[in-house]
Structure formats: C-alpha cells, structure tokens
Structure 1
Amino acid sequence: MNEIHIEVPQERTDYTIKIEKGLLHSVGEELVDMTRSKRVAIVTDKTVHHHYGETVETQLKQSGFAVHSIILKPGEQTKTFASMPGIYSELILAGITRSDVIIALGGGVVGDIAGFVAATFLRGIDFVQIPTSLLAQVDSSVGGKVGVDLPEGKNLAGAFYHPKRVLIDPDVLGTLSDHYFSDGMAEVIKYGCIKDTAFFDKLTQMDSRQKVMADIENVIDTCCRIKQEMVQQDEKDKGIRMLLNFGHTLGHAIEAYYNYQSITHGHAVAIGMVTLTEIAESKELTVKGTADKIRKCLSGHSLPHSLNDPDAYDDILPYIQKDKKQLNNQLHIVTLNKMGEAVTHQTDVGFFDQLKIGGQIT
C-alpha cells in the first residue's frame, strides 16, 4: 500500500473589531487601510440600504472604490440557498475578483449569507462585517460563523469564515425598531447568563432601551470580549464556544417550527433560556431561582419568557433532533450551574419531554 502524508500549515486568523459612534462615516478610510483593491460589493437588504446605503457608498467612492450594491429582501426567509445564485451572478457582472472585497451591511441575516457567499465565491474572497442590528453587533458578526438555513432547521449549511474587519457603529441602532432592539437584547442577556454575573445584574437594572443606549459602547464591548475569549479557544464550536448556544437549542427549534416568521431569533432564544433553565432546575442541574432571575431581566427588556401556545411543543421538539450541536450521536445542550456559570450537558431529546402535552415542569 502506498501512503502519502499531506501537511498544510494553518493560516493565522486575526482581525480587528472597532466599536465607535459615527464609524459609518469612516468606512472608506477603513477599507483603504485594509486592502489594495479598489472594487467593493456591498450586500445589504432593502431596509438597511434605505437608511445607510447611500452613506456607505459615498464614503467608499470618495476613497476611490468602485462600488456595486446587491440589495436583498429583508427577513430570515432570504437566508437560503435559493438566494445565493442571484448574488453570485451579480458579483460576476460587477467584475468582482478574488482580490476584491465584499461588505456585509446589515443584520444577522445579511451577515450570514454575505459571509457564506464570500467563503464560497471564487473559493473565498475577503469580506468586512458592518452590522446594523444589535443582535449582529454583539453576536453574529463576530466569530466567523456564516451560512444559510435549510427547511429542516436553522444554519444547517455554512462555514467558519472570518471577516477581515468588523466595524460597529452604535449610532445605526437609532433606526432599529423596538422589537428588533429587544431581539438583540436576548443575546446580550445571554452573555451575562453564561459568563458574567455582574454584567447580568447591570442589565437587570438597565430596564429600558434608553438606559442601555446610554452605555451602549460598553455593552457591545463586553459581549464581544466574552465571545472573543471563547472563539479564540474553540474556533470550530466543539468545546467552550458551545456555551454561546445557551437557549439556542430550543430557540432554533421554535424558529424553524414557526417558519422564521412569527417568532424572531432573539425572542425564541429568550423563551429557550427560561424554559431550558426551568427544566434544568427540575432536574437539579441548576440552582433554584435562576429561571426567575432570567425571567425578570427579560421582562425588563420587553422579551417573552414562555411560548403562547405550549401545546405546540409536541411539534416543535422533533426539530431538536436536527440540531447542529449533535456530536457523537448525543445532543449537547448548555445549562447553568448558577448564574454566570454555564456548562455543556450531554443528553438527548428526551431532556425536553416535560414540555410535551400532558407533561409538567416540576
């Protein structure tokens, strides 16, 4: 038998996250500092383009870039394989090459699909994240997870492909609706739950959008630093990075069941965090009273903590079997020993049986 061993040196990954009010007006300068290319494709959606497309295009053109904007329909329903051929075609028509840059200007949906396009078009070209939703600023724009949804579940097709830079301008949150601001707060609260009790307590006291915005740069910075620590230790999400999925196993199942329409991501994760913690308390995996603390914090930020139709869980739970956090035929869920101390717990879908019709969390 002939045997050949191939060893490819791994490429070092490093990039900067910049958090600064007004940063959107320096996009051109940031790209000049990052690339020698003079051609950029902006992937955005109709809503974000209406608010910020002209500003970003103008900044880039003033810095000497040729700019082509690809404007998608807003919403999670856009984040599918069906959207990708059209984006590829526009990139080809715009003359985008492997030395050029894609900018993801938008929320989590735009960042995920634009990043996946960047990872796969011409086998990979540079991209920059400019997140415009709170959820994207504190979570999805950082860490290199990109991808699309499948009918069977969320983010089931994708890659780990890091941006070359993340530019966060908190001022853009001013055009975010209250619903989507609270949607992002679910991810912010998650960071406190899994890693930082003092931060969680601070968020409980910040019981309004106005109070959060008064300290928004520090709020975003805290979240990004927690994620930075976990991503640096576990890029491929098979160890400590899995703690970032607290509330997501059930949350993603809820989103998929409702076809990513009536319940948005942060609201589903909020329900997932409380419901999972209630079950964990009943199994003596979590200190009693932890779910009540989460419930109080969520309520202060206009987030739900239970499903309006609990009978739907009989149909929701099968989606968990398709969860991407299945490893070695086991489901890895994230529970809290206590507030600020998260762990992964190996189990199976039976963990959630108390949610079935006739079941009861005791």
Structure 2
Amino acid sequence: MRNLTIHSSTHDYDVLIGSSLRHQLKDMVKKEYSKVLIVSDSVVADLYLEDVKAAFSNAKVSDAIVPAGEGSKSLEQYGRLLDKCIQEQLDRQSLIVGLGGGMIGDLTGFVASTYLRGIDFLQMPTSILAHDSSVGGKVAINHPQGKNLIGSFYNPIQVVYDTETLQSLPAAEIRSGYGEVIKHALLSDASWYDELKTQLLKNVTTEDLEDHLMAGIKVKAGIVEEDEKEHGVRKYLNLGHTLAHALEAELGYGAITHGEAVALGIAFAMRVSEHKLKSDLPILSYLEWLQLNDYPLHTLKSANPKQLVHRMKWDKKTVREEIHFVLLKEVGSPVVERVNDEELTEYLEKFLEEVNHIEQRN
C-alpha cells in the first residue's frame, strides 16, 4: 500500500493506494460513525457496494444509487441525495462515502459540503480519472450552460484508492483517466511525458498504473497545497479543460468522457501555445499518441467553432468575459494567458481543420 498525505487549510488527509483496500476499510477509517450513507452509481454498485457496506458493520449503513454517467451530476440528483440524507436522519457525526468515479466524487462531495453546512465524506475512487478529481477539494455539479458551475471547495477526510476496482474499467474509462495523467506530466516533467507518450494503454500493467497514479497525485498535491482556492498556480491544472468543458456541454454530458475531452483540449492548448507564445511543442507526436490509443478525434468533425467559443465564455475560468487559457511555454512550464474571441475562433477553426485532415487520412 502507498500513502501520501495532503495538507489543506482545513485538515490533513491521507490518500491510500493499493489492492483490495475496500476490504480493509474498518482498519483505515480512524473515526467511529453511527450512520454511514454510501453513494454509488448503477454500474459500480453492482460490483463493489456490498463489499464497502460490510466494512462499516458497526454503523447503521444506507445507500443511494444514481444512474451511471456524467448526466447524474445534476440539480435533480443533488436534490434527491439531500432528500436521502434527511430521510436517514444523518447528523454531523455521520459519514457520506462516494464510491465511484469522478462524477460520484464530485456529486457526493457537494452534497456532503452543503448538508448541515458540511459533514464528513470519504472518497473511494473506482476510476483512473478520479486520481485527479478526488484530491484537492473541488466538488460540484453541472448546469446545462456549463460544467461544474455550481460547487464548492470541500476536502474529504480520506481517499481510499483500491486499484483492484480499476480492473473492471472499459477502454473508454482507461483513455479518460490517462487524459488527466498525461496532463500532469505535461505540467511537470518532460521525461515522464516522454515515457507516457510511448505507452499503449491496452498494455498498461497494474504496477504501471500505481506508479502513474501516485506520480499524478503528487503533482496535483504540490499545486493545491500551494494554492488551494485557485487564485494562482492551481489554475494550471485546467490545462486542456477550457475546450474540454465546452465540448462536453456541446455534445451532451456523457457523449464523451471527461478525460477524453481533456486529452483533445490539451492538443488545442498546444496549438494555441504555438500561436500565442511561439512555443515549440511535440503536438504531432501527441496527436499520434491520441490516435494510437483511440481517442475520439472524430467527435470534432461536426463541431461549430463559434458555438464552442460561446460555451467557453460560460466556463468558470472566464473573468470579465475574457477567456483565460492555460498554455505551455514548454513541457513543464505552464502559464495563463488571455485569449480574445477573435483569436480563439481563428485558432479553433484551424485546429478543427487540422484534426479533420488527420481523420480523413485514416
């Protein structure tokens, strides 16, 4: 088992990574709770819910299951979970457990942060993607106008990452997770990025995965400990996300996974970096890596640049209606730059044309 402690402004919490940890929860959760609500989705619940319920045998345990997919990060499901908290009479000595991927962690954390002005919650990620979202205290739900527009900063008491649960992930979820892994490499370490760029995701081993998860969490931990509320360097973690969030909203939540959208958004951020900063970035080899690993470049074929720019202006990173873009001077050297609408539309048109040519060649 691997352990990393995250230092936040409210409390320190441990991230535990290892195999079969769901069966060891009783020894890991340090506080006694009289009531526990486990929130999961319709796919994960069938696989792991009973294991986690058994770990809290000394408490009154209830569960709430939401439909799988990004569409459940909604006001409707948020309200339904609050109703469940009230029905179960959870109090401030109760615990909410988020058992699932990034959607479950975000939704559950937001419920925990607002019910009774905040009760304890435990993150139990079951996706690679959630190595990013489970650390750092950002919790949120989506609005039809944009992703994560309703949320707060609220840290879990612990993150328990059972790598055994990752063995059931479909290919799209592995791609999704590595969209965030490669983002962390691009933000921090050229040699790690070069290593990942040679990786065929279908050949990733359990040992590779644990190494990559821990490395990614360390990158994020270092950034969020310096800037917890995103006033400065934490903005760098939004690399690729400006276009990604616009794509997710435009295509419909769930049509493309979050990490797949981030991976495509990173390619665009590289191109914008070349235009704005005259950066020399490995974009062609990065696009080849996306193709080799079946990232859905085809979803960009019918994209409308002006509509995507409109979506970007609703993004939570927009300030005074100006889009602030995370760019790269080089691998490991991110910056934030303002990009106006006209520039962005021009860059996006060129990028979409480039991607469509690549798709046509294949």
Cα separation, partners in 2 of 1:186 and 1:208, compared to 1, 3 Å? same
Deviation of 1:92 (Å): 1.6
Q: Report the equivalent of 2:44.
A: 48
Contact 1:40–1:68 under 8 Å retained in 2: yes
- Provide TM-score, normalisation by structure 2: 0.90
Cα separation, partners in 2 of 1:96 and 1:205, compared to 1, 3 Å? same
State the distance in 2 between where 1:330 and 1:314 align.
Answer: 15
Q: Report the equivalent of 2:22.
A: 24
Q: For 1:330, which of 300, 322, 326 is the aligned residue?
A: 322
Cα separation, partners in 2 of 1:306 and 1:235, compared to 1, 3 Å? farther
- Name structure 2 gaps, 5 residues minimum: 1-7, 355-362
Letter matched to residue 267 of structure 1: E
Deviation of 1:195 (Å): 1.0
Q: For 1:353, which of 328, 345, 356 is the aligned residue?
A: 345
Deviation of 1:305 (Å): 4.7
Alignment of 1:199-278 (within 5 A): 199-278=192-271
Deviation of 1:310 (Å): 4.9
- Provide TM-score, normalisation by structure 1: 0.90
State the distance in 1 between where 2:157 and 2:170 align.
Answer: 29
Letter matched to residue 29 of structure 1: D
State the distance in 2 between where 1:220 and 1:198 align.
Answer: 16
State the distance in 2 between where 1:299 and 1:193 align.
Answer: 18
Q: Report the equivalent of 2:357.
A: none
Question: Which of 159-168 and 210-219 deviates more?
Answer: 210-219
Letter matched to residue 176 of structure 2: D
Letter matched to residue 291 of structure 1: I
Q: Report the equivalent of 2:118.
A: 124
Q: Provide, for residues 314-338 of structure 1, a one-character-per-residue CA deviation record: whole Å limited to 9, x for no partner.
A: 3222001111112355322111111
State the distance in 1 between where 2:98 and 2:313 align.
Answer: 31
Q: Provide, for residues 233-274 of structure 1, a one-character-per-residue CA deviation record: whole Å limited to 9, x for no partner.
A: 111112111111100001100100011132221111111111
Question: Which of 306-315 and 152-161 deviates more?
Answer: 306-315
Q: Report the equivalent of 1:15.
A: 13
Alignment of 1:133-148 (within 5 A): 133-136=127-130, 138-148=131-141
1:172 aligns with 2:165: yes
Secondary structure of the residue aligned to 1:102 is strand
Q: For 2:87, which of 88, 93, 104 is the aligned residue?
A: 93
State the distance in 2 between where 1:300 and 1:245 align.
Answer: 24
Letter matched to residue 46 of structure 1: S
Secondary structure of the residue aligned to 1:25 is helix
Q: Report the equivalent of 1:158.
A: 151
Question: Which of 194-203 and 273-282 deviates more?
Answer: 273-282
Contact 1:278–1:361 under 8 Å retained in 2: no
Q: For 1:339, which of 323, 331, 334 is the aligned residue?
A: 331
- Name structure 1 gaps, 5 residues minimum: 1-9
How many residue pairs end up in the alignment?
347
Q: Report the equivalent of 1:184.
A: 177
Secondary structure of the residue aligned to 2:204 is helix
State the distance in 1 between where 2:213 and 2:71 align.
Answer: 27
Contact 1:313–1:355 under 8 Å retained in 2: no
Letter matched to residue 140 of structure 1: S
